[in-house]
Amino acid sequence: MTEQTQRTGFTPRVFSGIQPSGGLTLGNYLGAIKRFVDMQDRGLNGQPVETVYCMVDLHAITAKLHDPETLRRNTRELCAGFIAAGVDPEKSVLINQSQVPEHAQLAWIFNCVARMGWMQRMTQWKDKAGKNSENASLGLFAYPALMAADILIYHATHVPVGEDQKQHIELTRDIAAKFNHDYGVDFFPITEPVIEGAATRVMSLRDGTKKMSKSDPSDASRINMTDDADAIAKKIRKAKTDPEPLPETLDGLKDRPDARNLVNIFAGLSDISAEDAIAQVAGQQFGQFKPMLADLAVAKLAPISEEMARLMQDTAEIDAILNRGASRAREITAPVLKRTYDIVGMVG
Ligand code: TYM
């Protein structure tokens, strides 16, 4: 915890979100959901902590024209994925972003705090808008301000994410600090990103220098949470590697990104550090290591995808869970928004 969060004495609270943009990957699981479950069950630094997890449907419409029915399905499927992987809606507050309107309301205030220059520097904006930024939506540009609002409407102090979200959390800190400074208050916490574990950046199975992503055109590059046992085993068997056996230490993987990625995946799935993982598999050839990794991945992932499919048969129950989550969330978010409006000078 930083000095700042300690000094201002904010009660620790964890928040994180995932876009319902279709198809959870092993990257989402190891980099995010599995760690959400750990924090829910094991707390933060050994202390129990309140956890809030969110499907960010308002973010999912920033990129391209979407099909409304598909978005609805993806949101419910993501909710099923959270629950199947171990997020317990009784222990964590589990919500869909648009059902808690204070996220979008606070985002407007933050649009007026954040500076254009800050947004222009976001690598995700540059990657997604590309050369065609004139044609990108205003929502895509303002995306990080909504993300800051997601976090700060809960006064969340800790945000578990994969490495690719680090810059957005830094921006969240800048927005909180500028708001506090501009209005002379100590109202929003300076949130800490929690980027921990061996698998905070799971890479493509076809190219160990590229992030594993649901938007990669090659399905062989990723493991989807809905892949069956055969597909998982086949993708790991075909994963790009090199002819060398696995080295004794992580140092020996420095220039072997594909091998390093598989070791990280092994560590993430086994819940051990990358150092312990390499110690366990040192000297193995890929012909031995890959089938073992495939068995492990199937053992961990197949029950989750089966449970997701089962939960998706009762979407009324999923909707009921999300409605309950939204009511619980609003007990936190409504007073924070009210106080923000007071600080900013809104009448009412
Ligand atoms: P999204 O939906 O792209 O990804 C969700 C989470 O999965 C992690 N992740 C990965 N981790 C390791 N290796 C990978 N290959 C990999 N791919 C994805 C991401 O780092 C993320 O933690 N902007 C966010 C969603 C968001 C959010 C928030 C997150 C909106 N509001 C507030 C935290 C707090 C996003 O697009 O994540």
**Distance between CA atoms of 54 and 45, rounded to whole angstroms?**
22
Residue 10 has a pLDDT of 93
- Whole-model pTM: value is 0.96
Residue 130 has a pLDDT of 87
Residue 64 has a pLDDT of 83
Residue 22 has a pLDDT of 87
Q: How far is CA 31 from CA 162, 163, 340, in A?
A: 5, 8, 32
Q: Pick the atom of ligand 1 nearest to 203's CA.
A: 15
Query: Which residues have a catalytic role annotated?
Result: 128, 211, 214
How far, in Å, is the centroid of ligand 1 from the Cα of 56?
10
Residue 5 has a pLDDT of 46
Say yes or no: CB of residue 129 within 6 Å of ligand 1.
no
Say yes or no: CB of residue 19 within 6 Å of ligand 1.
yes
Residue 124 has a pLDDT of 95
Say yes or no: CB of residue 147 within 6 Å of ligand 1.
yes
Strands ordered across the beta sheet of 93-96: 93-96, 50-55, 13-18, 158-160, 192-194
Q: Pick the atom of ligand 1 nearest to 146's CA.
A: 31
Residue 348 has a pLDDT of 87
**Distance between CA atoms of 45 and 114, rounded to whole angstroms?**
32
Residue nearest to atom 31 of ligand 1 (CA): 147
326: which residues sit within 8 A by CB, 6+ positions away? 95, 96, 99, 100
pLDDT tens per residue across all 348 residues of the chain? 444 444 458 999 999 999 999 889 999 999 999 999 999 999 999 999 999 999 999 999 998 888 999 999 999 999 999 999 999 999 999 999 999 999 999 999 999 999 999 999 999 999 999 888 999 999 999 999 999 999 999 999 999 999 999 999 999 999 999 999 999 999 999 999 999 999 999 999 999 999 999 989 999 999 999 898 899 999 999 999 999 999 999 999 999 999 999 999 999 999 999 999 999 999 999 999 999 999 999 999 999 999 999 999 999 999 999 999 999 999 999 999 999 999 999 998
**Distance between CA atoms of 175 and 179, rounded to whole angstroms?**
6
Q: Pick the atom of ligand 1 nearest to 162's CA.
A: 20
Say yes or no: CB of residue 59 within 6 Å of ligand 1.
yes
SS3 of residue 224 by DSSP: strand
How far, in Å, is the centroid of ligand 1 from the Cα of 122?
15
Number of other CB atoms surrounding residue 164 within 10 Å: 17
Residue 46: exposed, middle, or buried by beta-carbon count in 10 A (0-12, 13-18, 19+)? exposed
- The structure tokens 């205030």 sit at 109
Residue 204 has a pLDDT of 98
**What are the structure tokens assigned to 157, written together?**
């102090």
Residue 8: exposed, middle, or buried by beta-carbon count in 10 A (0-12, 13-18, 19+)? middle
Residue type present at position 290: K
Which of 14, 15, 18 for mutating ligand 1's site (highest number of atoms within 8 Å of CB)?
18
> CA-CA-CA-CA torsion for 335, 339, 345, 346, nearest 10 degrees?
0
Residue 8 has a pLDDT of 56
Residue nearest to atom 37 of ligand 1 (CA): 18
Q: Pick the atom of ligand 1 nearest to 56's CA.
A: 30
Question: How do strand 158-160 and strand 93-96 relate by DSSP bridges?
Answer: unpaired
**Distance between CA atoms of 191 and 2, rounded to whole angstroms?**
9
How far, in Å, is the centroid of ligand 1 from the Cα of 172?
15
How far, in Å, is the centroid of ligand 1 from the Cα of 32?
7
How far, in Å, is the centroid of ligand 1 from the Cα of 40?
18
Say yes or no: CB of residue 144 within 6 Å of ligand 1.
no
Say yes or no: CB of residue 150 within 6 Å of ligand 1.
yes
